[in-house]
Amino acid sequence: MDHAFLVDLLGADQFSTAETALAEHATDWGTEDADGSAPDAVVYPDSTEDVSAVLAAATERGIPVTPYAAGTSLEGNPVPTHGGISMNLTRMDAVQEIRPDDFQMDVEPGVMGPAIEEAAGQYGLFFPPLPSSGDISTIGGMIANAASGMQTVKYGEIADWVLELEVVLADGSVITAGSRAVKTSSGYNLRDLFVGSEGTLGVVTRATLELAGRPEQIKGGRVLFPTLEAATAAVADIVQSGVDVAKIELVDAEAATMSNAYTGADLPDQPMVFLEFHADHGIDDEIAFCEAVLSDHDPEQFEIADGERMEDLWRARKDLAPAIDEYDPDRGFRHPGDVTVPISEYGNLIAYAKALAADYDLSIPCFGHAGDGNVHYAILVNPDDPDEAARAKEAHSRIIERAIEVGGTATGEHGVGRGKREYLVAEHGEETVEAMRAVKRALDPTDTLNPGKIFPETADGERVRADDGE
Ligand SMILES: Cc1cc2nc3c(=O)[nH]c(=O)nc-3n(C[C@H](O)[C@H](O)[C@H](O)COP(=O)(O)OP(=O)(O)OC[C@H]3O[C@@H](n4cnc5c(N)ncnc54)[C@H](O)[C@@H]3O)c2cc1C
């Protein structure tokens, strides 16, 4: 790629072709090896104008541009598949304005969770849909991946908390999607089109977020179960009974073993459910209601607390990601699973994953945002054992296929990226995927933005160009 044009468009410290910069942008958290995915150049825009100038020039020259933020994606979402430019948005990290009377905040895309929480916290406000990775990921990445998190069961996902977006399209034009009004029925809802578009339709350069008042009362804790069936049935029962729970997370016995090894906690290796409650008053009544619902499911060691004790009780869930990563030095964490099913299918799906683990002789710890019917799992694989790797790949596919069969989705919150492209048609049907392609072609006819993602045919290196359309 001839990148001389970037010199004219940007300051000298705003682009790089250094090997280290290219290598950094060739992976994300879920992509260990770059496998030919390095960009040819990395740009670091400071402003909407920079983003617009680079996109317009790249589109004119047929050069792909892949937005890159903190790179915490798990499906290869920000990893270029056609070289070109990696557009790193982390320098655009200002909290621009807070309007506490409207419960609103305007931010640039590179702002991370802690900065949002700190700025909102000054007014007794918070941003409820931050993902578990909120401390290490950007709001632009969260919006582009349609992130959600532990509190989604009470507050909803990121799409529910984004009011307005400024977006730069592939041709460099700048549009505003949505409204600062909390409701609107004015034309197509383009805002939600960009949420979850994984940088394939436009680059978000500003977001107006909605905020919530901090609850007066917060309590949380943990309950152990004798069997996984009892734990998953309890989760479904809590949700179906309408308990007002702010977080409800599962850790199965295998994940508990890993967490105990990592944290040194003296907990039994048993399935556990972690709970948190938020209220302005009457929190103990809600906790009592929850305990009554749980009583049908053989709970053990039910304990709810506040403050530091609550943090202690939650430790086994909060430290789970590094615990799984470090558990078996010979077996890396592969296939970060993220399927979501209707809550009535939650227990069945987990039972299915565990049965597959036994059939395929694999270790598949299951955990995740249980109240949403979101099943996270890891498959531990020895990279030097091709047979184990093949069994893991097959088990992973079967779990996803089963989730789709029962009315769920291949990806609850991590996005399609490269990893879930092959399931798109099975989940939505060919006609629906063709409608998605039509949107892509309309907004980005030359497939400048993040080519090679989402659509199944792009696995073979195709690009979704308007001139390829029917
Ligand atoms: C330990 C761990 C825990 C996690 N937990 C959760 C969780 O609870 N919930 C959840 O939803 N996810 C979770 N994730 C996945 C990931 O952290 C989130 O999807 C996160 O929002 C990605 O943000 P990022 O800044 O790292 O974006 P990146 O990974 O850099 O990019 C994500 C996607 O957004 C695009 N993009 C980035 N910035 C922009 C922009 N400004 N405009 C347009 N497109 C853009 C990129 O091209 C890419 O397709 C977890 C990941 C890890 C490693």
Q: Mind listing the pLDDT tens digit for each residue in 197-209?
A: 999 999 999 999 9
Residue 332 clears pLDDT 80, i.e. is over it: no
Structural domain range at position 429: 421-468
- The response to whether residue 444 sits with its C-beta less than 6 Å from ligand 1 reads no
- The response to whether residue 287 sits with its C-beta less than 6 Å from ligand 1 reads no
Atom 28 in ligand 1: which residue has the minimum CA distance? 71
Quick one: pLDDT band at residue 330, thresholds 50, 70, 90? confident
The domain boundary, picked from 274, 297, 322, lies at 322
Same domain, 91 and 21: yes
- The response to whether residue 416 sits with its C-beta less than 6 Å from ligand 1 reads no
- The response to whether residue 138 sits with its C-beta less than 6 Å from ligand 1 reads yes
Residue 453 clears pLDDT 90, i.e. is over it: yes
Cα 242 to ligand 1 centroid, rounded to whole Å: 30
Same domain, 288 and 304: yes
Question: Which pair of structure tokens corresponds to residue 186?
Answer: 């004015």
Quick one: pLDDT band at residue 35, thresholds 50, 70, 90? low
**pLDDT of the residue at 222:** 96
Same domain, 143 and 3: yes
Q: Can you give the C-alpha Rg of the chain in angstroms? A: 22
Question: Domain for residue 413, yes or no?
Answer: no
- The response to whether residue 71 sits with its C-beta less than 6 Å from ligand 1 reads yes
Same domain, 311 and 392: no
8 Å CB contact between 314 and 219: no
The CATH number of the domain holding residue 386 is: 3.30.70.2740
Same domain, 175 and 188: yes
Residue 22 clears pLDDT 90, i.e. is over it: yes
- The response to whether residue 373 sits with its C-beta less than 6 Å from ligand 1 reads no
Question: Domain for residue 414, yes or no?
Answer: no
Same domain, 332 and 228: no
The CATH number of the domain holding residue 290 is: 3.30.70.2190
SS3 164: strand
Percentage of the chain lying above the pLDDT 70 cut: 98
The domain boundary, picked from 269, 304, 322, lies at 322
Residue 461 clears pLDDT 90, i.e. is over it: no
Question: Domain for residue 283, yes or no?
Answer: yes
**pLDDT of the residue at 388:** 94
Same domain, 167 and 127: yes
Question: Domain for residue 310, yes or no?
Answer: yes
Question: Domain for residue 416, yes or no?
Answer: no
What is the rounded CA–CA span in Å between residue 147 and residue 130? 8
The mean per-residue pLDDT over the stretch 437-443 comes to 97
- For all residues of the chain together, what is the average pLDDT? 95
The domain boundary, picked from 262, 291, 322, lies at 322
User: What pTM value is reported for the model?
Assistant: 0.97
Same domain, 221 and 210: no
**pLDDT of the residue at 335:** 77
Residue 470 clears pLDDT 50, i.e. is over it: no
Cα 71 to ligand 1 centroid, rounded to whole Å: 7
- The response to whether residue 141 sits with its C-beta less than 6 Å from ligand 1 reads yes
**pLDDT of the residue at 389:** 92
Pocket test for ligand 1, best of 43, 85, 145 (most atoms within 8 A of CB): 145
Q: Which atom of ligand 1 is nearest to the CA of 68?
A: 30
- 113-152 burial code (b ≥16 CB/10 A, e <16): bebbeebbeebebbbbbbbbbbeebbbbbbbbbbbbbbbb
Window from 38-47, 101-110, 251-260, 263-272 with minimum mean pLDDT = 263-272
Quick one: pLDDT band at residue 469, thresholds 50, 70, 90? very low
Question: Domain for residue 233, yes or no?
Answer: yes
Q: Which of 239, 271, 249 is nearest to 369 (CA)?
A: 249
Same domain, 24 and 158: yes
Percentage of the chain lying above the pLDDT 90 cut: 89
* 432 HSE (CA, 13 A, CB side): 7
Question: Domain for residue 411, yes or no?
Answer: no
Same domain, 437 and 379: no
Window from 38-42, 192-196, 302-306, 321-325 with minimum mean pLDDT = 321-325
Window from 158-167, 269-278, 327-336 with minimum mean pLDDT = 327-336
Instruction: Please state the domain count of the chain.
Output: 4
The CATH number of the domain holding residue 109 is: 3.30.465.10
Higher pLDDT, 335 or 358: 358
Residue 468 clears pLDDT 70, i.e. is over it: no
Question: Domain for residue 412, yes or no?
Answer: no
Cα 72 to ligand 1 centroid, rounded to whole Å: 5
The mean per-residue pLDDT over the stretch 328-342 comes to 86
Same domain, 314 and 337: no
8 Å CB contact between 444 and 201: yes
What is the rounded CA–CA span in Å between residue 51 and residue 440? 19
Atom 44 in ligand 1: which residue has the minimum CA distance? 199
What crossing angle do the helices spanning 320-327 and 253-263 adopt, rounded to 10°? 90
Same domain, 92 and 171: yes
Q: Which of 145, 238, 157 is nearest to 195 (CA)?
A: 145
